[in-house]
């Protein structure tokens, strides 16, 4: 969502006559978009902003802006951390930056209101021309007890089906092959009588070739949505379904509104209906009150379900959330030990699952050259796994092409293969 917001802001700024540079020494205005989900991200953002402050010391006419979740959370308090700031703009104020720039105020400007968002600007300046994020909703009102998002992004607001379709069709006409529909909880999407499954059906009717979405909250994953995923050819067979914990006691304290058994039932249903389903998740270790036996339950679920991959985090207390009021009683070293054990187990599972893909064919959207080997093309399969073309028989420019790739080698995170047909 932050990447998307940055793209939207770039679109708005360039429409207003600004040009974009990623070299701070050339910029007259330096903007840092921030995340508040974990403390670590915040510490890094403060470090980066203070480092960037030197460009202001060298040329006082340079302006420094912080935008996004952390700006929303800290507001005026941000000036204590980074005194050189000229703008502190919250998650919905950031789109008004061009207006604020016109005002030329002497004092730092702090704007944090959540306004009635009518429409998200539908011409973001995207880096990737072939695969685009399209926000279908903003904000969240699930209030998982550990999570800062509902406080910094406000209540859920859904875009109209017609506006989303217009944006997707426009993207398809400009050569884009794939869209990722994004929202904090896409499964709770609603526009009049249309739910998320209906939206998927409508997006499928555009000329876009592949459709992804994230994130899905298990409490709102309906059999209707699973059916739509299995029936709609363009929808990729990838489901990101955060589990967070395998312990019912912890899930309840997290306010997730499902039990481990309900989660397992959903996974069984999805696996039985969607052929070649790739299932990924988010997991938190060391939530307040998590005992060894709770952590063991997370491990048991992970081993039973066999996720294709997982984002795994140590619990980070966030001021203002319900969980912040609980004692952060799992010692740092225990959190780290649990995280390392979990990562190790998941790495082996990912490897085992990727192993099964050897000699199968993946449909890959090529998005650039591999960082490891600049001569090789890379892209994403329908499973959302990164695929590197290890034996490229053709000199053809494959950027933006959807190609069939026979998988020949794997590791825990990547598949390697040969192009079968173009
Ligand atoms: N809306 C999505 C969802 O419900 O899963 C994702 C939101 S959050 C930005 C992404 C992930 O960060 C969460 O799924 C959770 O695993 C993790 N997360 C959120 N708050 C956290 C915290 N306080 N400490 C550690 N991890 C956290
Ligand atoms: Fe945070 Fe829960 Fe909302 Fe996801 S669903 S953004 S974890 S409150």
Q: Tokens for 12?
A: 């708005």
Can you list the alpha helix ranges (DSSP code H) found in 154-218? 161-173, 196-204
* CB count in 10 Å sphere of residue 153: 23
Q: Tokens for 131?
A: 């695969």
Q: Could you tell me the sign of the dihedral formed by the alpha carbons of 158, 166, 91, 210, in that order?
A: positive
* CB count in 10 Å sphere of residue 63: 21
Tens-digit pLDDT string for the chain (422 aa): 999 999 999 999 999 999 999 999 999 999 999 999 999 999 999 999 999 999 999 999 999 999 999 999 999 999 999 999 999 999 999 989 999 998 877 889 999 998 655 666 668 899 889 999 999 999 999 999 999 999 999 999 999 999 999 999 999 999 999 999 999 999 999 999 999 999 999 999 999 999 999 999 999 999 999 999 999 999 999 999 999 999 999 999 999 999 999 999 999 999 999 999 999 999 999 999 999 999 999 999 999 999 999 999 999 999 999 999 999 999 999 999 999 999 999 999 999 999 999 999 999 999 999 988 888 999 999 999 999 998 765 567 899 999 999 999 999 999 999 998 66
Give the ligand whose atoms come closest to the C-alpha of residue 150. 2
Within 8 A by CB and 6+ apart from 286, the residues are 314, 315, 330, 334, 335, 338, 339
305 lines ligand 1 (CB under 6 A): no
Are β-strands 109-111 and 131-135 bridged in parallel, bridged antiparallel, or unpaired? unpaired
Class of residue 193 by CB neighbours under 10 A (exposed 0-12, middle 13-18, buried 19+) = exposed
Q: If you measure from the C-alpha of residue 84 to the centroid of ligand 2, how many angstroms do you get, rounded to a whole number?
A: 32
Q: If you measure from the C-alpha of residue 218 to the centroid of ligand 1, how many angstroms do you get, rounded to a whole number?
A: 14
347 touches 306 (CB < 8 A): no
User: Radius of gyration (Cα) for the chain, nearest Å?
Assistant: 22
Q: If you measure from the C-alpha of residue 233 to the centroid of ligand 2, how many angstroms do you get, rounded to a whole number?
A: 29
Q: Which letter does DSSP use for residue 235 in this model?
A: B
Write out the E strands in 100-144: 109-111, 131-135, 137-138
Q: If you measure from the C-alpha of residue 37 to the centroid of ligand 2, how many angstroms do you get, rounded to a whole number?
A: 10
Q: Could you tell me the sign of the dihedral formed by the alpha carbons of 388, 390, 392, 393, in that order?
A: negative
Report how far residue 118's alpha carbon sits from residue 98's, in angstroms, rounded to the nearest whole number: 18
311 lines ligand 2 (CB under 6 A): no
213 lines ligand 1 (CB under 6 A): no
């Amino acid at each position: 969502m932050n990447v998307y917001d940055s793209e939207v802001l770039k679109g708005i700024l360039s429409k207003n006559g600004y040009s974009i540079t990623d070299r701070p020494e050339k910029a007259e205005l330096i903007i840092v978009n921030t995340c508040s989900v974990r403390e670590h991200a915040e510490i890094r953002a403060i470090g980066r902003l203070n480092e960037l402050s030197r460009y202001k010391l060298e040329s006082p006419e340079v302006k420094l802006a912080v935008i996004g979740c952390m700006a929303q959370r800290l507001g005026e308090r941000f000036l204590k951390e980074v005194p050189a700031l000229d703008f502190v703009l919250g998650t919905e104020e950031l789109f008004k930056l061009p207006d604020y720039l016109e005002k030329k105020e002497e004092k730092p400007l702090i704007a944090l209101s959540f306004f009635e968002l009518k429409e998200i600007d539908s011409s973001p300046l995207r880096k990737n021309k072939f695969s685009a994020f399209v926000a279908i909703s903003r904000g969240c009102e699930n209030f998982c007890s550990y999570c800062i998002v509902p406080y910094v992004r406000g209540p859920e607001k859904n875009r109209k089906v017609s506006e989303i379709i217009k944006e997707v069709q426009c993207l398809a006409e400009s050569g884009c092959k794939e869209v990722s529909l994004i929202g904090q909880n896409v499964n709770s999407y609603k526009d009049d009588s249309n739910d998320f499954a209906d939206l998927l059906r409508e997006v499928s009717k555009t000329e876009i070739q592949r459709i992804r979405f994230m994130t899905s909250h298990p409490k709102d994953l309906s059999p209707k949505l699973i059916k739509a995923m299995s029936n709609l050819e363009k929808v990729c067979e990838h489901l990101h379904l955060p589990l967070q914990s395998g312990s019912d006691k912890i899930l309840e304290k997290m306010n997730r509104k499902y039990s481990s058994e309900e989660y397992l039932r959903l996974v069984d249903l999805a696996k039985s209906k969607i052929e070649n389903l790739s299932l990924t998740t988010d997991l938190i270790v060391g939530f307040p009150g998590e005992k060894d036996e709770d952590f063991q339950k997370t491990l048991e679920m992970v081993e039973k379900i066999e996720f294709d991959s997982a984002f795994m985090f140590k619990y980070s207390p966030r001021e203002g959330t319900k969980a912040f009021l609980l004692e952060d009683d799992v010692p740092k070293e225990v959190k780290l030990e649990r995280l390392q054990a979990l990562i190790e187990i998941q790495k082996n599972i990912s490897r085992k699952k990727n192993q099964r893909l050897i000699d199968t064919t993946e449909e890959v959207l090529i998005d650039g050259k591999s960082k490891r080997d600049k001569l090789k093309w890379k892209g994403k399969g329908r499973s959302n796994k990164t695929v590197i073309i290890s034996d490229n028989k053709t000199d053809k420019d494959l950027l933006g092409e959807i190609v069939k790739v026979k998988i020949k080698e794997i590791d825990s995170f990547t598949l390697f293969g040969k192009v079968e047909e173009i």
